[in-house]
Amino acid sequence: MMSFIQEQPLAFIEHPLIQRLLVESDYPLLNTYQDLDQLAAASEFQVLLFGEQPHRFPETLDIAVVLPELLEGLRAQGVDIRGAVVSTEIEKVWQKRYGFREWPTLVFLKRGGYLGQISRIQNWDDYLRQIPVILAKTPVADPGGDIPLANLSN
């Protein structure tokens, strides 16, 4: 008989919906500043998913479902944008860098420079209103950190 009871929660990276982002949607897993540099060089805009642990913040899984659809819609409009998943090993350090307090959070960048963030799951219409406003901004210094905007790995 099949059991649906799980003794221990799945690790963030092992969850099937996060795996779908990494494998099917080809989102890189960011572990280092060098990974972020490579992502910033590959597209004009970047969206970083900070998910923490889905068993603690179930909305992470909702965002994992919605994010590919949002980015596909933006790309259909000619926006050069790419998503990425921030590893749990570095997300607390980067959380301080980007200055957010709620999980999950999407951080929007332009060539690695900070544009803004959206925390928690939103209504579809709210995303459609908020994201174009964020993408139209000029990159600024990271709100919570002193790491330079360009060439983050140095």
Q: What is the number of other CB atoms lying within 10 angstroms of the CB of residue 48?
A: 21
The superfamily CATH assigns to domain 21-135 is Glutaredoxin (3.40.30.10)
Q: Based on the number of CB atoms within 10 Å of its own CB, is 59 exposed (0-12), middle (13-18) or buried (19 or more)?
A: middle
**Mean pLDDT for all residues in the chain:** 90
- Domain spans of the chain, in order of start: 21-135
pLDDT tens digits, one per residue of 75-109: 999 999 999 999 999 999 999 999 999 999 999 99
Q: What is the mean pLDDT of residues 107-136?
A: 97
Cβ neighbours for 94, distance < 8 A, ≥ 6 positions apart: 48, 50, 86
**Nearest to residue 126, comparing CAs of 137, 118, 136?**
118
Round to whole Å and give the CA distance between 113 and 98: 11
Round to whole Å and give the CA distance between 57 and 121: 11
User: pTM score, two decimals?
Assistant: 0.88
Give first-to-last CA distance, the chain, whole Å.
54
pLDDT at 100: 94
